[in-house]
A and B are shown apart, each in its own frame.
Chain A
């Protein structure tokens, strides 16, 4: 039996197609379909239920908690009211999870993690934190609702007084419909957007209030994946897993080179010597989409890697994908081939991201 978010009845009444994801019953798409949901996000405003994701609170001074050793991003110079993206790694440099750290106060942090990894992450944090760090898993009390798209700020202005002061990757606490909640200017679509951490049992009221604005469209996990691939954001289980380091996935800018963290020896070695395979982005020559598990071949047909993410891109009108490829084939502009036993399709290696018009920093 899968877990359900506090908004499951909302999704059912909206006619969502429900699927299991990471142990949760989640809306894959609503009746208008993924392409209309895509356009709502890129041109208007979309709302996602992300209550399945995990949230931890860590209390204590940075030195006494040991938090700095567990995550890769720089924390000592992180100002209160800002968010930072990074990872927790195993000793081999493989990725336990990707996560965002919020500095709530001088001695208080919130860490937001992937739904499917929440229990694993909680065990890892509990076992690695020092005695000076107090750990709470608040996931089951915390709904997360993402409002994303170029109109998201305008939509939220009447509900969140003062939201205009939030810059990209900052947050603050606001009174929203009588609840004191964290709202951050973060997201997973490449557009201007906000994530609202609302009390679990009251989340329906907030969801309904946002959706009562006719400009807002409910959007599901299907389009969330399309949108994140268009802007080349990694998804755990695809671009990252316990055997893939952030260096292989092209994400070394989220590793603080000046501090010690679990796995730092392994990833520094990889940065020095280079990795034998690299994450690449490619555009299909046709509307045919690459899919996770397809094989990648060099232009002359040698097997050279595999696809980890793929979709049809409504923004580009073509199939797009990411995959790991032997480094000798990874020059931008080169042709590769993706396919399986049934078909082969030509594609071109391109720089990230696929979609460059996002309103993220507007």
Chain B
């Protein structure tokens, strides 16, 4: 599973990359692999206020629907419209072209609730040991 060193992560398998007070948010390689072929993304509207660890959007794969949570609180300032017509970008380029939203961060202290790349890597291996953890809800 690919992990980007300078990003921060959640236990729900979202990533955030922070520059100044703007966070770019997406889903991890583990998440896209567990979801399978992603066929639909319901993007939030620009200006929407989001709370840390609350639902940010929902995505669907062929046989299931799943919620994606926001790693941080703030206001959505940009969404990746390319995902509307081609959600498979989330499978193919989850860490770059597959970014989902950019958020103006309201409380930078919340980053202390997130995992570093090393912590996320350890978390993934603990899931492997428990033989589970995929957050997709199969029918």
Q: Which residues of A contact B (CB under 8 A)?
A: 19, 28-29, 33-35, 222-223, 225-226, 286-289, 291-292, 311-312, 314, 319, 342-343
Contact = CB atoms under 8 A, between A and B. Distances in A.
Nearest to A34: B62
Contact of B39 (A29, A291, A312, A342): A312
Contact of A311 (B36, B42, B62): B62
B37 A288 contact: no
A342 B63 CA distance: 18
Contact of A286 (B36, B40, B63, B65): B40
A35 B37 contact: yes
A34 B36 contact: yes
Given A289-B65, A314-B62, 17 more contacts: A34-B61, A34-B62, A34-B63, A35-B37, A226-B62, A287-B60, A288-B40, A288-B42, A289-B39, A289-B62, A291-B65, A291-B139, A311-B63, A312-B39, A312-B60, A312-B61, A342-B58
Interface string B107-130: 000000000000000000000000
B87 interface: yes
Interface residues of B, number: 14
A225 B39 contact: no
Interface in B16-71: 36-37, 39-40, 42, 58, 60-63, 65
B129 to A, nearest CB: 19
Interface of B: 36-37, 39-40, 42, 58, 60-63, 65, 87, 138-139
19 contacts: A19-B138, A28-B63, A29-B36, A33-B36, A33-B37, A34-B61, A222-B62, A223-B62, A226-B62, A226-B63, A287-B39, A287-B40, A288-B40, A288-B42, A288-B60, A289-B60, A291-B65, A311-B63, A312-B62
Contact of A292 (B58, B60, B61, B139): B139
Contacts of A34: 36-37, 61-63
B93 to A, nearest CB: 16
- 4 closest A-B pairs by beta carbon, nearest first, are A312-B39, A287-B40, A34-B62, A35-B37
Contacts of A28: 63, 138
Contacts of B42: 288, 343
A312 to B, nearest CB: 4
A225 B62 CA distance: 10
Nearest to B55: A342
A19 B60 CA distance: 19
A127 B29 CA distance: 54
Contacts of B63: 28, 34, 222, 225-226, 311
Contacts of A286: 40
Contact of A35 (B58, B62, B65): B62
A19 B134 CA distance: 13
Contacts of A319: 40
Contacts of A287: 39-40, 60, 87
Contacts of B36: 29, 33-34, 222
Interface centre among A33, A286, A343, by most chain B C-beta atoms within 10 angstroms, is A33
Nearest to A226: B62
Interface centre among B63, B65, B138, by most chain A C-beta atoms within 10 angstroms, is B63
A292 B36 CA distance: 19
Contacts of B40: 286-289, 312, 319
A287 B63 CA distance: 13
B100 to A, nearest CB: 16
A226 B60 CA distance: 14
B35 to A, nearest CB: 10
Contacts of B87: 287
A34 B58 CA distance: 20
A225 B63 CA distance: 9
Contacts of B65: 289, 291
A292 B139 CA distance: 9
A140 to B, nearest CB: 27
A222 B63 CA distance: 7
Nearest to A225: B63
A319 B65 CA distance: 12
A30 to B, nearest CB: 11
A343 B40 CA distance: 14
A225 B139 CA distance: 11
A291 B66 CA distance: 13
Contacts of A289: 39-40, 60, 62, 65
